[in-house]
Amino acid sequence: MAIKQEFKAESKRLLEMMINSIYSQREIFLRELISNASDAIDKIYYRALTDDSLTFDKDSYFIKVVPEKENRTLKLIDTGIGMTQEELETNLGVIAKSGSLAFKKENEIKDGHDIIGQFGVGFYSAFMVADQVTVISKALGQDQAYKWESQGADGYTIEPVEKDSVGTEIILKIKENTEDESFDEYLDEYRLKGIIKKYSDFIRYPIKMDITTSKLKEGTENEFESVKEEQVINSMVPIWRKNKSELTPEDYENFYMEKHYGFDKPIKHIHISVDGAVRYNAILFIPENIPFDYYTKEFEKGLELYSNGVLIMNKCGDLLPDYYSFVKGMVDSEDLSLNISREILQHDKQLKLIAKNIKTKITNELQNLLKNDREKYEQFFNSFGRQLKYGVYSDYGTNKDTLQDLLLFYSSKEKKLVSLDEYVSRMPEDQKYIYYASGETNERIEKMPQTELVADKGYEILYFTDEIDEFAIRMLMTYKEKEFKSVSSGDLGIEADEKNTDAEQKEHQELFDHMKQTLAGKVKDVRVSKRLKSHPVCLSTEGEVSIEMEKILKAMPNNQNIQADKVLEINSNHDVFKSLKNAFEQDKEKLDLYTNLLYNQALLIEGLPIQDPVEFTNDICKMMV
Ligand code: ADP
Ligand code: MG
């Protein structure tokens, strides 16, 4: 008669948690047991590498899953290395082996959902679906087999039994259905097959199961009978372990679809095999379209994470920087432990190395795409370019070196998207700055009076139509030592061609002072324009905040009414200027009218709202009559 043994305290607590768990992902118990079986076969495999008396005949190693509805048991048979009496005792009697708990503080274990969540808790997860677990095992090189049995937290027994072959058999007595929950599914062939496919498809050894199919009865034409046929459920060789040369673009596309990474076709796949300080394989995809939930709260970035072929996490966010959140795919590494908690994973050195490595690969691939397939790159950029710009802007610009060469902007000269490198390499020698203009659309920017001088000079202007553009460029500050300059900024740095306006400004200072008075609180100054050629007026800005930024900041929910410092610029070559001068001498009331009209016009051109539209229309009428 076997004597009942107590579980170690920690194990007992975890076990109780498992038994009482109402966890929705109970199905992972199968993943845990199968990977234990696979580990056990691995151990023979590695032993055989160094032990000449052992041969590893691939065909005789397998895992078999046997559901028996009649007696409500689920069996897992493996031909692995097995466990001795002592090993049954230490491996299954103490949870600390798996480590998950060792990392957790006392009070954190109470609930435990997050331990069970993404990570295995190993062998004990069997108690989520079974109220009795029996392990019959014969260790390699031993004559006697042993049986370990437990019905839960109160303890386990170990006693000798008969077993012919080396390996382990685990028998789960599946729980009875309760009012709220059914456990029958863990006896159902198709359900089990689905779970195996989902979590263990890439286990190196065959996972077999007898599947019932209906077949034509021999000697009959339309009579069918149910027959059980042994099938191998898992595909065993994961695509990411295959040689790139063996794989076609279709293989990758199929994988993309099979995995439901997206409903589109990927623009590009990246297959990585690294065998260095950190070892991993990865297949990554850059989708073609923006996922429908990309800009919602529900969207979660991340890659699937496998440890040696076993899925341990659906979305490992730590593997991707936010600016590459659109990347889909998976990573498999031998260097990660299967039973590792989410918190620990975050600080895992290997994982950090992998993440860094992946980031570099993605950057390189995008750079290659830009260089070698412009059309595809632009397609990508139209979908996800904004994300890259956010990347430049966030984290205080720390990612700018990675990202600045991936940016594209519409060019006034090329009439298409250009990179900063292309812009700078085309710059004439006398051009000091990289010029840009912000506005709602390319069409509107094209007509902006502020662009006149720069465009006239023959310089290229980048059009910023995304809200984030100007903010991102402020983070960059320079590209290849060239400063960025808004066409609306005070000093454009085009001296030779700039009108010397000082004399004119002085001559009419009284006029300008008067106008400034009229527009008190609205503009900082009124001046003769250096940049206008044909338009009568425009607004320029001084200081950090541009007009586009003011608009964006205004639209934000907690806006702090940040204003750009605006300057009303007057084209002194324009006939309007003559009218202003006349009015100043003859009719101050008229001058006020003109001043307000011009200011409001300038606002309209900028796409800014007019403070008092009724007054504006009245002013126009006044002028007409
Ligand atoms: P882990 O797999 O992380 O070590 P588990 O709780 O899953 O933790 O398993 C505990 C230990 O029990 C394993 O390390 C292994 O030594 C032993 N074990 C479990 N299942 C088997 C098996 N099928 N064959 C041989 N040993 C096993
Ligand atoms: Mg395990």
> Which CATH number do you get for residue 527?
1.20.120.790
Written as one letter, the residue type at 443 is E
In a domain, 237, yes or no: no
Total number of domains in the chain? 4
Q: Is the CB of 80 under 6 A from ligand 1?
A: yes
| Residue 387 confidence (pLDDT) | 94
In a domain, 307, yes or no: yes
Output the CA 66–ligand 2 centroid distance in Å. Answer: 20
**Same-domain status, 315 and 459:** no
Domain boundary among 351, 374, 397: 374
**Same-domain status, 280 and 148:** no
Read off the pLDDT band of 113 (50, 70, 90).
very low
**Same-domain status, 15 and 116:** yes
What's the pTM? Answer: 0.69
In a domain, 396, yes or no: no
Mean pLDDT of 104-129: 56
| Residue 261 confidence (pLDDT) | 87
Mean pLDDT of 108-115: 42
Specify whether the CB–CB gap between 209 and 66 falls below 8 A: yes
Read off the pLDDT band of 10 (50, 70, 90).
low
Q: Closest residue (by CA) to atom 14 of ligand 1?
A: 91
**Same-domain status, 124 and 223:** yes
CATH assignment at residue 472: 3.40.50.11260
Contacts of 114 (CB under 8 A, 6+ apart): 341, 342
The whole domain housing 545 covers 501-624
High-pLDDT (> 70) share of the chain, %: 91
Mean pLDDT of 592-605: 94
In a domain, 122, yes or no: yes
| Residue 549 confidence (pLDDT) | 85
| Residue 119 confidence (pLDDT) | 41
**Same-domain status, 476 and 567:** no
In a domain, 382, yes or no: no
**Same-domain status, 153 and 289:** no
**Same-domain status, 36 and 147:** yes
Mean pLDDT of 65-73: 97
Query: What 3-state DSSP class applies to 482?
Result: strand
Q: Is the CB of 97 under 6 A from ligand 1?
A: yes
Q: Is the CB of 122 under 6 A from ligand 1?
A: yes
Q: What angle do CA 426, 430, 434 make, to 5 degrees?
A: 55
Read off the pLDDT band of 20 (50, 70, 90).
low
User: How many beta carbons lie within 10 A of that of residue 73, not counting itself?
Assistant: 17
Q: Is the CB of 40 under 6 A from ligand 1?
A: yes
Read off the pLDDT band of 100 (50, 70, 90).
very low
CATH assignment at residue 167: 3.30.565.10
582-615 exposure pattern, b = at least 16 Cβ within 10 A, e = fewer: ebbeeeeebbbbbbbbbbbbbbebbebeeeeeee
**Same-domain status, 477 and 440:** yes
Ligand nearest to the CA of 205: 1
| Residue 47 confidence (pLDDT) | 84
Q: CA-CA distance, 205 to 81, in Å (whole number)? A: 14
Read off the pLDDT band of 338 (50, 70, 90).
low
The string of pLDDT tens digits covering residues 546-571 is: 888 888 887 777 777 788 899 999 99
Q: Is the CB of 37 under 6 A from ligand 1?
A: yes
Q: CA-CA distance, 251 to 523, in Å (whole number)? A: 63
Q: What angle do CA 19, 25, 31 make, to 5 degrees?
A: 90
| Residue 137 confidence (pLDDT) | 98
User: Which strand (E) or helix (H) includes residue 258?
Assistant: helix 249-258
Domain boundary among 486, 516, 536: 486
Q: Is the CB of 574 under 6 A from ligand 1?
A: no
More reliable by pLDDT, 180 or 539: 539
Specify whether the CB–CB gap between 472 and 390 falls below 8 A: yes
In a domain, 215, yes or no: yes
Contacts of 157 (CB under 8 A, 6+ apart): 2, 3, 4, 5, 147, 148, 149, 150
Contacts of 478 (CB under 8 A, 6+ apart): 484
- Over the chain, what is the mean pLDDT? 87
| Residue 339 confidence (pLDDT) | 57
In a domain, 496, yes or no: no
Output the CA 591–ligand 1 centroid distance in Å. Answer: 90
| Position in ligand 1 atom list of the atom nearest CA 167 | 24
**Same-domain status, 480 and 510:** no
**Same-domain status, 36 and 117:** yes
Task: Check pLDDT > 70 for residue 82.
Answer: yes
In a domain, 469, yes or no: yes
Pocket test for ligand 1, best of 31, 36, 103 (most atoms within 8 A of CB): 36
Ligand nearest to the CA of 170: 1
**Same-domain status, 184 and 272:** no
- Judge residue 544's burial from the number of C-beta atoms within 10 Å of its C-beta, 0-12 exposed, 13-18 middle, 19 or more buried: exposed
Q: Is the CB of 339 under 6 A from ligand 1?
A: yes
The string of pLDDT tens digits covering residues 471-492 is: 999 899 999 999 999 998 878 8
> In sequence order, which ranges of 406-557 are alpha helices (DSSP H)?
420-426, 442-446, 452-456, 467-476, 502-507, 509-518, 547-555
Tokens of 333: 């590494």
Q: Closest residue (by CA) to atom 27 of ligand 1?
A: 36
| Residue 108 confidence (pLDDT) | 43
More reliable by pLDDT, 500 or 473: 473
**Same-domain status, 460 and 581:** no
High-pLDDT (> 90) share of the chain, %: 56
CATH assignment at residue 301: 3.30.230.80
Task: Check pLDDT > 60 for residue 96.
Answer: no
